[in-house]
Structure 1
Amino acid sequence: MTNPVSVLTVPAFQDNYLWLIHDGKHAVAVDPGDAAPILAALNDHGLVLTAILLTHHHADHIGGVPQLLQHYEVPVFGPENDAIAAVTDPLAEGDHLKVPGLDLELRVLDVPGHTRGHIAYVRDGAEPWVFCGDTLFAGGCGRLFEGTPEQMTSSLGKLAALPAETKVFCAHEYTLSNLRFALTVEPGNEFLQQRWHDESSKRERGMPTVPSTIGLERATNPFLRSWEPAIGELLAAEGRVAPNASPLAVFAALRQWKNNF
């Protein structure tokens, strides 16, 4: 009988979260930007690394890969369109990955916007997960370093369409900063007000605010709510969009506003 899989949170740098998916024996590292905390967590929990999963090419997500490969000769899965030299098994939307060493299958979504080739890994079933890198954050979304607003809204739409109970494993502890912005955009949102209280309490106790859920993001994340009339009206009143602007125009204005918030 195979052991159930769970996810271990591995903090790194100032605000990154690295992830270890494991069954008590074997583990897969997701976006290991730094090898040291991953190696320490593997040692502390008696785990053996069997694979590495990457979502995109930024250094804080791939920087630890070379050192991990010095300790473990494992496959490296990652986006086929993000030019990561270490990737041995390139992936794109529609691919299904049987995770080495674990009783776990993940499917791949193309979610460009933050980078051109960014992908996400989805676990379907009774306990759904998504590892979405820097595309969707708790209360926010990634900056458009390489992609367009059209690409990012399409990517976020794919993630928002996942079941409401899907746990969102994003890669940064940006939640309170994101929620401050969200409350500026949608001050009358009662779900958002409650979320601010809940997440602030977690941070005061030194707890992570991630994972969130897709349902929580739909209810409180302004970047998944650009079609809401109240948001468009507020941006129009601020002179950031024309009256009756499209959801795409509202999204682009929101992202630009957040860049300088």
Structure 2
Amino acid sequence: MIEIIPLPAFQDNYIWAITSAQSPWCIVVDPGEASIVEQYLHKTNKHLLAVLITHHHADHTGGLQALKQQWPSLRVIGPAAEAHRIPTLTEQVADLDTLTFAEMALNFHVMAIPGHTAGHIAFYSAPVLFCGDTLFSGGCGRLLEGRFEESAVTMYHSLERLASLPDDTAVYCTHEYTLANLRFAHTVDPTNQALISYQQLCEVKRQNAQATLPSSIGLEKKVNPFLRCKNRDLQLKFKQNTAQALFACLRMAKDQFKS
């Protein structure tokens, strides 16, 4: 069985380390900082097998060059649509591709989930999902600058695709934004008892310096306003006639929200 370890980086990023007690290998997801990964590998005596990249932003890719120098045969796998922004990729993948890591008896399916960036992808190996900056616990990623209307439609469909995964899917996003997201969610849906309970639980976790992640698809469908846009009561409250229109309304409101 695999174990997934959060490696905190910068102010609120997580680099995810995928490992197993039965294997000397490790895979990391979105290493924005190489030193954090190197310290973990040294501490655990693991060998770096591969890096998975969800999108091109520097806080997800900044450690690649240093890691590649230390591990010359390293597999660096990321979105083909953003390869021109990630020169260290050794493998380019696209929607519906499958990745095999025989050394760890692991397979990942690639899902295209654009919206935060045009070529954003996720890596899914049931019941585990690495979704970068598309879906957060209680929220979702910002949209492409200057292309709000187009990106709102794109992001809505990406979130719907993720929401269609089994409820027990563990959601490993790349930022500890949960409390800030839930404060906004509470303004949208203040009587949601599942949201209230989850917010209290996450506050305790953060007080104890624990990660709020992973979440789950089933939980997010109960508490995350961006996955609740088909809810007719919310549509009426915000005077929107469709789920896509409510999503765009909420995303714009979140952009202006001061938590």
TM-score, length-scaled by structure 1? 0.93
Q: Is the 8 A contact 1:33 1:65 kept in 2?
A: yes
User: Once the two structures are superposed, what CA deviation does each residue of 1:32-83 show, in whole Å capped at 9, x if it has no partner?
Assistant: 0000111001111111001111000000000000000111121110001013
Alignment partner of 1:78 is 2:78: yes
| Alignment-derived partner of residue 63 in structure 2 | 64
Q: Structure 2 residue aligned with 1:12, among 9, 13, 31?
A: 9
Q: Structure 2 residue aligned with 1:89, among 88, 91, 109?
A: 91
Q: Which runs of 5+ in 1 are unaligned?
A: none
Partner letter of residue 145 of structure 1?
A: L
Partner letter of residue 255 of structure 1?
A: R
Q: Percent identity?
A: 44
| Alignment-derived partner of residue 137 in structure 2 | 138
Q: Hey, what's the Cα distance between the residues in 1 that align with 2:183 and 2:166?
A: 26
Matches within 5 A, 1:113-132: 113-124=115-126, 128-132=127-131
Q: Hey, what's the Cα distance between the residues in 2 that align with 1:231 and 1:195?
A: 19
Q: Structure 2 residue aligned with 1:208, among 207, 211, 219?
A: 211
Q: Is the 8 A contact 1:186 1:230 kept in 2?
A: no
Partner letter of residue 124 of structure 2?
A: V
Query: Equivalent residue of 1:32, what SS?
Result: coil
Partner letter of residue 17 of structure 2?
A: L
1:102 is displaced (CA, Å) by 1.4
Query: Equivalent residue of 1:219, what SS?
Result: helix
| Alignment-derived partner of residue 175 in structure 1 | 178
User: Once the two structures are superposed, what CA deviation does each residue of 1:201-246 show, in whole Å capped at 9, x if it has no partner?
Assistant: 111111000110111101100000111122212222xxxx4xxx21
Q: Hey, what's the Cα distance between the residues in 1 that align with 2:78 and 2:102?
A: 14
More helix by share: 2
Q: Structure 2 residue aligned with 1:148, among 126, 130, 151?
A: 151
Q: Which moved more, 1:95-104 or 1:132-141?
A: 95-104
Partner letter of residue 163 of structure 1?
A: P
Partner letter of residue 17 of structure 1?
A: Y
Partner letter of residue 214 of structure 1?
A: I
Matches within 5 A, 1:88-107: 88-99=90-101, 101-107=103-109
1:100 is displaced (CA, Å) by 5.7
Q: Which runs of 5+ in 2 are unaligned?
A: none
Matches within 5 A, 1:196-235: 196-235=199-238
Query: Equivalent residue of 1:252, what SS?
Result: helix
Q: Which moved more, 1:9-18 or 1:74-83?
A: 74-83
1:169 is displaced (CA, Å) by 0.3
Alignment partner of 1:32 is 2:31: yes
Number of corresponding residues: 248
- Measured on the aligned residues, the alpha-carbon RMSD in Å equals 1.1
Query: Equivalent residue of 2:194, what SS?
Result: helix
Partner letter of residue 161 of structure 1?
A: S
Query: Equivalent residue of 2:210, what SS?
Result: coil
Alignment partner of 1:23 is 2:20: yes
TM-score, length-scaled by structure 2? 0.93
1:87 is displaced (CA, Å) by 1.1
| Alignment-derived partner of residue 49 in structure 1 | 48
Q: Which moved more, 1:82-91 or 1:171-180?
A: 82-91
Q: Cα–Cα, structure 1 residues 80 and 36, in superposed 2: closer, same or farther, change >3 Å?
A: same
Query: Equivalent residue of 1:202, what SS?
Result: helix
Q: Hey, what's the Cα distance between the residues in 2 that align with 1:184 and 1:79?
A: 35
Partner letter of residue 256 of structure 2?
A: N
User: Once the two structures are superposed, what CA deviation does each residue of 1:123-152 show, in whole Å capped at 9, x if it has no partner?
Assistant: 12xxx0000000000110000026611110
